[in-house]
A and B are shown apart, each in its own frame.
Chain A
Amino acid sequence: MNVVQVQELTRIYTTTQGFLKQKKRDILAVDGVSFEVNQGELFGMLGPNGAGKTTTIKILTTLLLPTAGRALVMGHDISRESQAVRRQINVIYGGERGLYRRLTGQQNLLYTADLYGVEPPIAQKRVAELLELVGLDKRADERVENYSRGMAQRLHIARGLINDPSVIFMDEPTIGLDPEAAHFIRQRIKWLTGQGKTVFLTTHDLWEADQLCDRIAILKKGKIIALDTPRELRRLVGDVQVVEVETFGMPEEKRAGLEAALKTSFVSVATYGPKQTIAIQTQNPNEVTAQVQQLLKGVKVLNIRVREQSLEDVYLRLVQEDKS
């Protein structure tokens, strides 16, 4: 059963510039996307900043209206039956905003339970259970302003489950968290699908998406450029391997030379201070390794290895391929 059905969804933001003579400008954020999410699925959405991920979530959670196209959540039209949609969903955004900071964790949850119409005796019981689930039961009576970022995010998770939703939308729920806190949130996300919940997740963390998601849609400039399981996405760019080279203090002209010489392969360079990591996706790793060693003569090479391609490699290739 499809719990989310999206057909040709489009969203244009109109902005105005100037004071006396105002000029209107249209920005196409989501450009005719179509997809379905199945019941109990953990569906991921990846894409660079401004690709339209958050806008898609905002439309599906009834915060925004689409400019064109149609979306159904649990069989209800998000434009015309927003109340019916809201009763069956919940949303979790990443970051510290979205909580009543002067209220306690427990008060935040009780208030949200009332907004969702949860019967008070059920709400009392559920609040206690959720606080325990996210490990905040000992700090339930403390004001949220005293919580760490990780604790606030855990409270967001509890808040997002307060109405026992069928579909949970999560927009970068691990953003800015330390590894331990992010691990905790990921565990809980995985646990949710075990409970039969459908999760719609956007993230910038490709490892997280690879580990968690059943299927992933990759968005670029408002369009879906790929949609499949992580395993199939990895195959999308062919039977390639990655030659990964770590260098120290590589000059810019060397990098340009490398990219020009390896035109048939996809090259991405990540810089970490004075160090660079060059990832070359190729079908001929041995040939490329030899070529790279030749091209990088005079550059301090710290490590060179051949590995299987990751989701990150595929993602970078897909979103950067036709950058021109």
Chain B
Amino acid sequence: MKHHLQVFRAAVRMTIWDYLAQPMWPFWLTITPFAFALVAVFLYRDAPPKTFALYVVLGSGAMGMWASALGGCSFSMMQERRWGTIVYTFTTPASQLWIAAGRSLVHAVIGLMTLAEIALISVLFLGIQLTIASPVAFLLAVLLTILAFAVIGLFLNSFFMLTRSASDWQNALSRFLYVFCGVMYPISVLPDWLRPFSYVLAPTWSLKAIRLSVEPGALGNSDYLMNIGLTLLLTMVYLLLAWYLQGVTEHKLRISAELERI
């Protein structure tokens, strides 16, 4: 376990070093979230103030988190393949799962920064009033959202290891996830046959919990607690699946010899 934690910490540190060494990071952290916020503003400009605040800030913030969590993980994997470093990390005793966990967490936290940035832009430039009646409930829901995004990144890591087109898959997947999680609208507007996809995504429930946490007394609200519970449950399921898939993926890669292909 000590070695796993060391690998996790190393992956966190390396991802931060690498992120800050890229000339595009100020752009990713500013322009992209701003674009998401603008889309949300135009979508909800005629909505009541409360809906406007929730969906502009949370909706575009969640889109930013998705983009960062998925995009970051797929980009890291593509980069590892392009640079040939994946071959070296694979032959170390470090678990690929713990490397991916560190990487996914950093990208999810960077996603949270986009949420904070959008909140700031909304308050300062768009005149949106943000009131969080239950800060503890809000914080808990936000932390769980980060965890959910990080674990989804971890879960998809196995898949990204197998493919040479991780970025293309990430682009395709993120669009679906925007739709299924109801980042810009309640999932009740989706057709019945699409909703099961939403139900199996942990961020669907954590985002609902965030929306409920702006109401007073959220911690005693059974609806809020149920959403938190479902987020935790699904996150645990993703973790187990990620752990299982990692073993299967590594075995498959040692047979298929596709790890080095770019």
Contacts and interface: CB of A to CB of B under 8 A. Distances in A.
B255 to A, nearest CB: 6
B184 interface: no
B241 interface: no
Contact of A65 (B10, B85, B87, B254): B254
A86 B96 CA distance: 13
Given A98-B88, A114-B6, A63 B14 contact: no
Contact of A115 (B18, B84, B92, B251): B92
Contacts of B10: 110-111, 114-115
B5 to A, nearest CB: 10
A63 B259 contact: yes
A101 B81 CA distance: 13
A112 interface: yes
A87 interface: yes
A64 B93 CA distance: 15
A65 B92 CA distance: 16
Interface size band for B: 20 to 34
B193 interface: no
B125 to A, nearest CB: 33
A101 B87 contact: no
Nearest to A11: B257
A87 B93 contact: yes
A103 B14 contact: yes
Given A93-B87, A100-B18, A86 B93 contact: yes
B88 A112 contact: yes
B257 A101 contact: no
Interface in B1-22: 2-3, 6-7, 9-10, 13-14, 17-18, 21-22
A65 B90 CA distance: 13
B9 A101 contact: no
A91 B91 contact: yes
B85 A98 contact: yes
Interface string B94-117: 100001000000000000000000
B89 interface: yes
Interface in A98-148: 98-103, 107, 110-112, 114-117, 120, 143
Given A115-B7, A115-B10, A63 B87 contact: yes
B22 A116 contact: no
A159 B84 CA distance: 14
Contact of B14 (A13, A89, A107): A107
A100 B83 contact: yes
A114 B88 contact: no
A210 B96 CA distance: 39
Contacts of A103: 14, 17-18, 21
8 contacts: A63-B254, A83-B93, A86-B93, A89-B91, A98-B85, A101-B83, A117-B7, A143-B21
Given A63-B90, A111-B14, 18 more contacts: A13-B257, A64-B254, A64-B257, A87-B93, A90-B91, A97-B84, A97-B85, A99-B83, A100-B18, A102-B21, A103-B21, A107-B14, A114-B6, A114-B10, A115-B94, A116-B93, A117-B93, A159-B88
Closest 4 CB pairs of A and B: A97-B84, A114-B10, A102-B21, A115-B94
